Structure 1
Amino acid sequence: MKHATEGQAETPMPVMEHLGELRKRLIYCLIVLVLGLVGGLFGAQPLFDYLVAAAPVENLGLHVFSPWDAIGLYVKFAFIISLIAAIPFTLFQLWAFVRPALGVKEQRATLRYIPGALLMFLVGVAFGYFIVFPMAYIFTESVTASMGLSETYGVTQYFSFLFNIVVPISLLFELPLLILFLTRIGILNPFMLQKMRKVAWFLLILIGVMITPPDVISDLLVAIPLVVLYEISVLLSKIAYRKRLAAREK
């Protein structure tokens, strides 16, 4: 394979070689995910200790209802840690896979997205954990109290509730960089995103409504940031698209 010159892509690979390269990258990602899962087992206990010592669960007694609950919880925590650790490596493998189709300038530009993607994921974790999750928990707690029920939570059910809110939101925070990357490599363009705007808004608002208490304020506090993320994605796509066109004209 020829090396890329400034502003030019490398010579295209044959189809079978392309598929073999994709298979190799996927295997690498799987290996890192498994290694991260093993390493995550050692980090599961400190993370668990931190979360159970923080509000709103600090004054609650969490219970197990099955001999497997504690083991299953360890695996869930390990998977979350593995997911966070694997994000940069997986994105690097994606970049390495499409690199032959990119010019030298595009290769350098898209490689910079990797640390940004990890940062956006962590921002999503913070938004989900410190803003959305407390609202959802307070709402469920108020419904429980209004029905005269006492709170007895299973540790598995509590953390499943937490993860089902935080993880999807964290992944949604990857949207701007993902769209920017796909625009830089020519898969997306701002015109496609503008045509999809109504559908995208509907889906993002629906997600915001589904993971928050059924009151307008809570829905807006989550739905508006998600919609803003999409609009930022469209803006970034426009900038990247113009740069791509300008590079082609030179």
Structure 2
Amino acid sequence: MQGIKSSVGHGKSFVGHLDELRRRIIFTMVAFIVSLCGAFVYVKEMYRWLVRDLDQKLAILAPSDIIWVYLMLAGVVAIAVTIPVAGLQLWRFVKPALSAKEQKTTLAYIPALAMLFLIGISFGYFVIYPMVLGFLEKMSDDFETVYTAQKYFAFMLNMTVPFGFLFEMPAIVMFLTSLGILNPKRLAKARKLAYFALTVTAVMITPPDIVSDILVILPLLLLYEISVTLSKWVFRKQLKKAVV
């Protein structure tokens, strides 16, 4: 944290820092666009794999609907690719404020960001999505069900992408602890509020039955406790270095 504070006056003006931040943001946006275009090349194969278990073809209500669906699918891939790029750009932005050891430590979090996002997406797709879809299909037994491509994939992504970001929690907490922005005491004080927010999130995205709620709430609360534990570990290491 001391390094970050001192870095403001380390050879760069406030305007210079803003210009550096702008360049990092632009680079990240370019990476997203390039990834989006690359994913779009293979989006038909992705679409066919995702609808492999459906008994019916998805309907479209307008010619533009399929473009919207393809952009959604390619966008998720682009986000997954861009997350480590964004993490690297953030690391390069704060790098001058870090010691050599801090630079190596924080750099190691970047691959974890991509891995945790993919784990979260997988959890949403293989656990939450089929559970919620199955519940809703049982509720619609008395209706003729026709899925449109746009509604179907919007529903799927709503059940998966948020978990990709939620699963980033441990890596982000460790990173912010390393920078001195967070510490275990703050996380412990915020535990009740965090539990409440995570519980509300879980209840809102799962079917209205206690089993489904528990299946989602428990992993989210476990993620928070893992984040607190990792924060304590990083904080203790920092204290030992400070003493030495």
Q: TM-score, normalised by structure 1?
A: 0.92
For 2:37 and 2:57, how far apart are their aligned partners in 1? 28
1:119 Cα deviation after fit: 0.9
Which runs of 5 or more residues in structure 2 are unaligned? none
1:134 partner amino acid: P
Q: Does 1:27 align with 2:26?
A: yes
The residue that corresponds to 2:103 in the other structure is: 107
The residue that corresponds to 1:219 in the other structure is: 213
Query: Residues 92 and 114 of structure 1 are in contact (CA less than 8 Å); yes or no, is this contact kept in structure 2?
Result: yes
Map Cα deviations across residues 74-107 of structure 1 (whole Å, 9 max, x no partner). 1111111111111111110011111111111010
Q: Could you say what secondary structure the match of 2:199 adopts?
A: helix
The residue that corresponds to 2:127 in the other structure is: 131
For 1:203 and 1:111, how far apart are their aligned partners in 2? 30
1:61 Cα deviation after fit: 2.8
Q: Does 1:181 align with 2:178?
A: no
Q: TM-score, normalised by structure 2?
A: 0.94
1:184 partner amino acid: S
For 2:209 and 2:56, how far apart are their aligned partners in 1? 25
Which runs of 5 or more residues in structure 1 are unaligned? none
Query: Residues 8 and 14 of structure 2 are in contact (CA less than 8 Å); yes or no, is this contact kept in structure 1?
Result: no
Q: Could you say what secondary structure the match of 1:177 adopts?
A: helix
State the superposition RMSD in angstroms: 1.6
The residue that corresponds to 1:69 in the other structure is: 65
Query: Residues 10 and 100 of structure 1 are in contact (CA less than 8 Å); yes or no, is this contact kept in structure 2?
Result: no
The aligned runs of 1:53-202 (5 Å cut-off) are 53-54=52-53, 58-145=54-141, 148-202=142-196
Map Cα deviations across residues 1-53 of structure 1 (whole Å, 9 max, x no partner). xxx9xxx9897232221111111100100111111111121121111111010
Taking a change above 3 Å as real, the CA distance of residues 245 and 9 of structure 1, as seen in their structure-2 partners, is farther
For 1:241 and 1:109, how far apart are their aligned partners in 2? 13
1:211 partner amino acid: I
> Hey, which bits of structure 1, 4+ residues long, moved more than 4 A?
8-11
1:249 Cα deviation after fit: 2.2
* Identity %, equivalent residues: 41
